[in-house]
């Protein structure tokens, strides 16, 4: 995978996470906390540095896995907990 493709893919995953978390009060609070201006700058720096660091590449891979898991859990929340307020 070339550097540009990796950078693009990583930034795309970060933006998808922001978009999915941005739905609702708790989500927007998490986005501000996790992806605030300073944290976003650190993430962009990490993406650039990841081309030379396998540990950072693994961390981004883990981030993508947990993002997908979170999306699956949110999608199935009504099946697991029918009394949840968002299921009404």
CA separation for the pair 86, 8 (Å, rounded):
34
pLDDT confidence tier of residue 86, bands split at 50, 70 and 90: confident
Cβ–Cβ under 8 Å, residues 8 and 50: no
Helix or strand or coil: residue 78?
helix
Per-residue model confidence (pLDDT) at position 18 = 61
Q: Which residue reads 């947990």 in tokens?
A: 66
CA separation for the pair 15, 29 (Å, rounded):
16
The pTM assigned to this predicted structure is: 0.51
Cα 71 from chain centre: 10
pLDDT digits (tens, 9 = 90+) for 39-84: 777 777 888 888 888 888 888 888 888 888 988 888 888 898 888 8
């Amino acid at each position: 995978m070339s550097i540009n493709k990796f950078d693009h893919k990583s930034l795309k995953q970060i933006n998808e996470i922001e978009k999915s978390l941005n739905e609702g009060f708790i989500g927007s609070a998490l986005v501000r906390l996790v992806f605030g201006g300073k944290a976003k700058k650190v993430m962009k720096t990490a993406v650039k540095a990841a081309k030379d660091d396998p540990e950072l590449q693994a961390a981004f891979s883990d981030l993508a896995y947990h993002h997908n898991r979170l999306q699956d859990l949110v999608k199935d929340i009504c099946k697991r907990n029918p009394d949840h307020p968002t299921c009404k």
